[in-house]
Chains A and B, each alone.
Chain A
Amino acid sequence: MNELVAIFFGMALVNNMVLSKFLGLCPFFGVSKKLSSALSMGVAVLLVMLVASLVTWPIFHYLLVPYGVTFMRTVIFILVIASLVQIIEMTIKRTNMTLYNALGIYLPLITTNCAVLGITFINIDAQYTFLQSLTAALGAGAGFTLVLLIMSGIRERLDLADIPRVFRGAPIAFLVAGLLGLAFLAFGGMVG
């Protein structure tokens, strides 16, 4: 149990997907302007990460490895993710129209979110067990959402601040991300 908690917090805070592994940057800078869209995106990514890990882990360990075709990993994983996103999108559209409208175009974008493919790779490279993989995905998604929320909160405030013209928009967002990363370094000693 201890190990799972360590993995969760490790993924969420210490090795945060965005701030220390540089994954999931596109949506990070594109979506993080408003708090509400940030939350929707974060939760959607968490969901996809979880389901993707759920599906790709068994595929790798029970299909790719025994048949010696581990080199098919990238192709198979990305196809799985693309299909999952499609399925999730259709399910949401059919069951909850309001949610679907809230997430809008962000859903299909999750396919190209490096964080989702990234976590499936990490699960394999770190040789996690099935349970550990799910925990890692949960942690990664939680961390991603957390950072997205913090970032959007800050950016909503930044919009009202008097920033030099050349820094407005993307430049200041990157600098803030850097400072955020610096702050997250403090989590370093937390696990282990």
Chain B
Amino acid sequence: MASLRESFTGGIFRANPTFILLLGLCPTLAVSTSLDNAVGMTAAVLFVLLTANLIVSLLRRFIPDRVRIPTFIVIIATLVTIIDLLLQGFVPALSKSLGMYIPLIVVNCIILGRAEAFASKHGVAHSIADALGMSLGFGLAIVIVSLLRQLLGTGSLEVFGVQLFTIPGLTDNPAAIFLLPMGAFFVIGVLLAFFRWVGVSECE
């Protein structure tokens, strides 16, 4: 069985949920218009994935096989609603920005997938490591995409109101297409090709 460290790093690089496994694409493309969104979404996913993996792993010997999937679904849906309510109450701006993509985390293939494929079959420590790795992998991916989209789409990079970086010529005439849905598709397509080119992932 893989070591704890392998469970962790696997999620970030070798089996990155977004770039390699192509899971959880919906939120990645939908909210990656700004770094704030990317960070917020990652935090939400981290909370849900970590807690879900933890609970499923703890209960794994008690969950009857026949109601396995519905149980996972209820656990995940509950966690998602909790984070949704918490965000609405304590960080309303972010909640508005991420909109229905927060509750949609419940059908994010990453989370249900990990509960089914990993947490239900492994101990708590490994499940936590896996959750952390996958969340960070997801976070890395969505931050990269948001970085590119925000930079190219608005000409400047800012996170939580702090301006990080501007490309002077671009702020006046940004390539707004990157803020639109198709921009997201282009960015991901090119990124995927890039990762194959540098040998990180395999071509088909």
Contacts and interface: CB of A to CB of B under 8 A. Distances in A.
Interface string B52-93: 000000000000000001100110011011001100000000
Q: Give me the 5 closest cross-chain CB pairs, A-B, nearest first.
A: A178-B185, A174-B189, A169-B204, A181-B182, A175-B189
A107 to B, nearest CB: 13
A43 interface: no
Given A22-B30, A75-B74, A112 B109 contact: yes
B185 A82 contact: no
A118 B30 CA distance: 13
A79 B73 contact: yes
Contacts of B25: 22, 25-26, 29
B183 interface: yes
A112 B106 CA distance: 8
A71 B203 contact: no
Contact of A168 (B30, B84, B103, B204): B204
B27 to A, nearest CB: 8
Contacts of B194: 166
B29 interface: yes
Interface residues of B, number: 42
Given A78-B77, A178-B186, A22 B29 contact: yes
Nearest to A170: B192
Contact of A22 (B22, B81, B107, B181): B181
B39 interface: no
20 contacts: A22-B25, A24-B26, A25-B29, A26-B22, A75-B74, A78-B77, A82-B69, A82-B70, A112-B107, A117-B104, A117-B107, A118-B104, A164-B193, A166-B194, A170-B204, A171-B193, A174-B186, A177-B189, A182-B182, A185-B182
A122 interface: yes
B176 interface: no
Interface residues of A, number: 44
A125 interface: yes
Interface of B: 22-23, 25-27, 29-30, 69-70, 73-74, 77-78, 80-81, 84-85, 100, 103-104, 106-109, 112, 180-186, 188-190, 192-194, 196-197, 203-204
A41 B23 CA distance: 18
A90 interface: no
Contact of B107 (A78, A168, A185): A78
B152 to A, nearest CB: 14
Nearest to B112: A112
Interface string A14-39: 00000111111110010000000000
Interface in A147-175: 164-175
Contacts of A29: 22, 25
B182 A179 contact: yes
Contacts of B85: 71
Given A19-B182, A25-B25, A75-B77, 9 more contacts: A26-B22, A74-B81, A114-B107, A122-B100, A165-B196, A167-B196, A173-B189, A175-B186, A178-B183
Contact of A174 (B100, B180, B185): B185
A23 B30 CA distance: 9
Q: Which among A23, A73, A112 has the highest number of chain B CB atoms within 10 Å? A: A112
Nearest to A165: B203
